[in-house]
């Protein structure tokens, strides 16, 4: 349901942008194509901005995303619509709003922020306990509710999936892939540990507790864990 919800958000966003752009003398097809160009750029802004720790990196990222959507819009006008018959908006009459950096930046920011908070609402509405995950352990198929997974531990060539009850399963899938599979509700605290945030307590700047197990927080992930703890306390 969460995936369908995300898809619905972007379809609605494209439809809204198309409605605005048709008032600028674009055809509906053109307006939809322009709306679609904003989607990957806004997603890039949403997912990459938190990884840019330094202010200068955030500035460079913002400029790169802004330039990307600008180039995509020009490509549509100069290489897609320009050769078409008269009466269809072409390269020679790009709407001024679409070459205005302030307008482009505003649209990208609104799309990215809207998707971020929509995704958070979906995560609360459709909690991890409603999901299950199937994987292979010791050559047999195992299906677990996601909420039953306490943490994932990486041990060189394999990982251990440790459940709330203390049961352990072995699997060859890398911990980074597990991070993508489990998604919201799990937090990376160390190159070797991925934990269920619903079961996690921050014990100290260097450790977290999951159930009755204490796990280390590496220097690389200290800031992420601190930000998560602050957000949970504020909430």
pLDDT digits (tens, 9 = 90+) for 202-214: 888 889 999 889 9
In a shared domain, residues 15 and 120: yes
Domain count along the chain: 2
Kindly report whether the global pTM for this prediction surpasses the value 0.75: no
Could you say which DSSP state residue 83 is in? T
pLDDT digits (tens, 9 = 90+) for 72-130: 998 888 888 766 545 455 545 788 889 899 999 999 999 999 998 888 888 777 665 56
Instruction: End-to-end CA distance of the chain: give it in Å, rounded.
Output: 24
In a shared domain, residues 61 and 167: no
Going across the sheet that includes 186-190, the strands are 168-171, 158-163, 149-155, 193-196, 186-190
In a shared domain, residues 119 and 139: no
In a shared domain, residues 140 and 90: no
In a shared domain, residues 95 and 114: yes
Cα–Cα distance, 144 to 140 (Å, whole number): 13
In a shared domain, residues 80 and 37: yes
**What residue numbers bound the domain in which 37 lies?**
2-125
In a shared domain, residues 19 and 105: yes
pLDDT digits (tens, 9 = 90+) for 139-196: 899 999 988 999 999 987 899 999 999 999 999 999 999 998 888 789 999 999 999 9
Residue (of 97, 137, 112) closest to 13 by Cα position: 112
CATH of the domain at 159: 2.40.50.1020
In a shared domain, residues 208 and 111: no
Residue 82: predicted pLDDT: 67
């Amino acid at each position: 349901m969460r995936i369908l919800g995300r898809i619905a958000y972007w379809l609605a966003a494209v439809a809204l942008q198309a409605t605005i752009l048709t008032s600028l003398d674009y055809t509906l097809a053109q307006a939809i194509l322009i709306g679609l160009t904003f989607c990957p750029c806004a997603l890039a802004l949403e997912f990459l901005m938190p990884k840019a720790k330094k202010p200068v990196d955030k500035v460079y990222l913002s400029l790169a995303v802004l330039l990307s959507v600008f180039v995509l819009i020009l490509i549509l006008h100069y290489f897609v619509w320009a050769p078409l018959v008269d009466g269809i908006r072409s390269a020679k009459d790009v709407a001024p709003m679409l070459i205005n950096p302030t307008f482009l930046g505003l649209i990208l920011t609104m799309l990215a922020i809207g998707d971020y908070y929509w995704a958070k609402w979906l995560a609360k509405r459709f909690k991890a306990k409603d999901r299950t995950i199937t994987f292979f352990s010791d050559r047999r198929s195992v299906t677990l509710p996601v909420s039953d997974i306490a943490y994932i531990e990486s041990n060189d060539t394999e990982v251990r999936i440790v459940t709330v009850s203390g049961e352990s399963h072995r699997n060859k899938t890398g911990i980074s892939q597990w991070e993508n599979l489990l998604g919201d509700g799990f937090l990376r605290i160390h190159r070797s540990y991925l934990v269920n945030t619903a079961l996690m307590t921050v014990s100290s700047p260097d450790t977290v507790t999951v159930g009755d197990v204490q796990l280390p927080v590496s220097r690389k992930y200290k800031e992420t864990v601190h930000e998560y703890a602050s957000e949970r306390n504020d909430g």
